[in-house]
Structure 1
Amino acid sequence: MPPHRPRHPRASPVLVAFGRQLRRLREARGIKQETIAHVARVSGPQVSKIENGKKRASRSFVELVDEYLEAGGALVHLWEDLNKDDQPVPLWFDWPGIEADATMLVSWEPMLVTGLAQTPAYAASILQGNQEAIDARIERQRIITGEGRAVPPDIVLLIDEQALHRRVGTAETMREQLDHLAEVSSLPNITVQVVLASGEHDGNMGAFVVATMEDRSEVAYVETAIRSITTDDPADLAILARTLVALRSRALTEDMSRDLMRKVAKEKWT
């Protein structure tokens, strides 16, 4: 396993603005980061990341800290203002950092193979030959092997059965993609399950990923017809949790999923 290499994610102005105000309030009362970490039940390094604009604070964190600092709701109001959808810097700006730091990722993608498991040829067809976007997508796949991390994340990829049969690129592209997906499913930290296409379910509404962080908090990345967003709102996470239960109830086992991927690759795309 290669040594851990520290990342230097680009900080979002939204996150920096919130972190700066949090630090001002904390220092004005002479309170240390360790105390905030204890109050909010997170680690000291996480508080540091929030104050430096490298990690987005959850609402529960903000509410606990606002009360402890006797900020009178100032931090909560700031958090709400900065997380409005109409802000010039979108909330999904910090997703790459969240994805890279997560200890678990659960992904659902209707109709297509998820980006984390796409081959270069499959990605090129989806991204219409945009080489910069293709390279960025393939680079993200280092997350799967945990390159640069002491412990690789656990990843669950829920694959729509229709994605196995929906042609993207050439037949050779599809065969290579399904063979690659079957190979990825054999990695010890990866679970790939095919969700049967029959029937209606909430997963038909769109793709999403739920990231579980080191402190067990969750953040979701949701794709919509207009744009993609991140959310850690408990109501949103509850809806996605119910959707995942429904999806996994329709999913084949890992071994059955792998067998189906190889069967379709051989019988349809050869």
Structure 2
Amino acid sequence: MPQPPKRLTPSNSALDLFGSEVRRYRVLADHSIKQLADKIPYSPSFIGAVERAESHCERNFAEHCDNTLDTRQALAHLHDGLFGDKKDGFPEWFRKWPGVEEDAGTLKVYEPQVIYGLLQTEEYASTLLFGDREAIEARMARQAILAREAPAPPRLVYLLPEVALWYDVGGRQVMEVQLQRLVEAVGPRLSVQVIPNGAPHPGNQGTFTLATMPDGEEIGYVETAARGIMMDRRKDISKLKDKFDAMWTQALPVNMSVDLINNTIEEKWKT
């Protein structure tokens, strides 16, 4: 017999409320999860995860559900109210960047100290954000772009130094699960490459991301001690591209990086 759907408590969180409303409108429209998935560009597993409050979603998901389930934009309106179109929970200077991530065709990322936000587990993010639920949910919401089906997720190239695998964020169990998440994330459109400890590279000055948009426009994001800065001047972008390419030449191939991450889990973080 199929298991009964998970009981939701909408008052628990914004995710629970949104998921319960997606389920309510789907049931009112007499659609199964599979029937809904056949009509929108999202998989049954993703729809189920949203309904169970186990995954965030983009506003586009709400819009597709609205159109298919004839809700008169109820879910998009609710999404805006709960998640602020993915702006709530972000510092003012960061608010434009999630939209760039969402539209980008390619993201090239270097993160020297902690795991990149789009690949963080909720427990790892919670430690870094000191349990701030609004900020945690906003960070988790950004990750929906990696699970979408249409348009295709951005091509993500992620470089990190080996020492980032060693920093204790939240304890052994959190680190074990986080590094496993890195390994599991690798796929046709997502690569994780580790720069071995001791390899010379110009990446010690801080975090940066290069986004290439579908029309070829390039936008950079650089973090400083005080704030993040978006930039699109050709001279600035050229410097970031040169720095990324220099580090890329020092990084291990993906398969060797995965082996290194797995070895680090076994040797340092296995619980």
Tell me the TM-score range normalised by the shorter chain.
Answer: 0.5 to 0.7
Counterpart pick for 1:139 among 114, 138, 141: 141
> 168-177 or 92-101, which moves further after superposition?
92-101
Match of 1:167, SS state, is coil
* Paired amino acid for 1:267: E
TM-score, scaled to structure 1: 0.65
Q: Using the alignment, how far apart are the partners of 1:122 and 1:174 within structure 2?
A: 7
Secondary structure of 1:141 counterpart: helix
Q: Distance in 2 between matches of 1:125 and 1:239?
A: 33
Find the aligned partners of 2:239 and 2:260 in 1 and give their Cα distance.
29
Aligned counterparts of 2:136 and 2:241: Cα–Cα separation in 1 = 30
- Counterpart in 2 of 1:171? 172
- What is the distance in 1 between the residues matched to 2:170 and 2:238? 36
Count of residue pairs the alignment pairs up: 188
CA distance in 2, matches of 1:132, 1:148: 26
Alignment of 1:76-225 (within 5 A): 92-145=94-147, 147=148, 149-185=150-186, 187-225=187-225
Matches of 1:172 and 1:90, distance apart in 2: 33
Aligned to 1:3, which of 38, 41, 44? 41
Could you tell me how far 1:252 is from its partner in structure 2? 0.4
* CA positional deviation for 1:201: 3.0
Instruction: Give the letter for the 1:256 counterpart.
Output: M
| Structure 2 Cα separation of the partners of residues 267 and 199 of structure 1 | 21
3-state SS, counterpart of residue 203 of structure 1: coil
Q: Point out where structure 2 has 5 or more consecutive residues left out of the alignment.
A: 1-36, 43-57, 62-90
Kept in 2: contact 1:210–1:218 (CA 8 A): yes
Gaps of 5+ in 1: 9-88
Q: Distance in 1 between matches of 2:121 and 2:232?
A: 30
Distance in 2 of aligned mates of 1:220 and 1:92: 12
Alpha-carbon spacing, 1:90–1:136, altered in 2? closer, same or farther (3 Å): closer
Whether the 8 Å CA contact 1:92–1:221 is kept in 2: the answer is: no
State the AA in 2 paired with 1:98: V
Provide the rounded CA distance (Å) in 2 between the counterparts of 1:115 and 1:138. Answer: 8
Superposed CA offset, 1:37-95 (max 9, x none): xxxxxxxxxxxxxxxxxxxxxxxxxxxxxxxxxxxxxxxxxxxxxxxxxxxx9775421
Aligned counterparts of 1:193 and 1:101: Cα–Cα separation in 2: 23
Residues in 1 aligned to 2:252 and 2:108: alpha-carbon distance in whole angstroms: 16
Cα contact 2:194–2:257 (8 A) shared by 1: yes
Query: 1:184 and 1:7 mapped to 2: Cα distance?
Result: 23
Q: Is this contact kept in 1: 2:219–2:232, CA < 8 A? A: yes
- Residues 1:202 and 1:107: Cα distance change in structure 2 (over 3 Å): same
Distance (Å, rounded) in 1 between the aligned partners of 2:224 and 2:244: 17
Query: Structure with the greater relative contact order (CA < 8 A, sep ≥ 6): 1 or 2?
Result: 1
State the Cα distance separating 1:266 from its structure 2 match.
1.1
Q: Quote how far apart the aligned CAs of 1:7 are.
A: 4.6
Q: How many Å separate the matches in 2 of 1:7 and 1:224?
A: 31
Query: Secondary structure, in 3 states, of the residue corresponding to 2:141?
Result: helix
Q: Which has the larger radius of gyration?
A: 1
Q: Work out the percentage of aligned pairs sharing the same amino acid.
A: 39
**Partners in 2 of 1:182 and 1:193 — Cα distance?**
10
The amino acid of 1:166's aligned partner reads Y
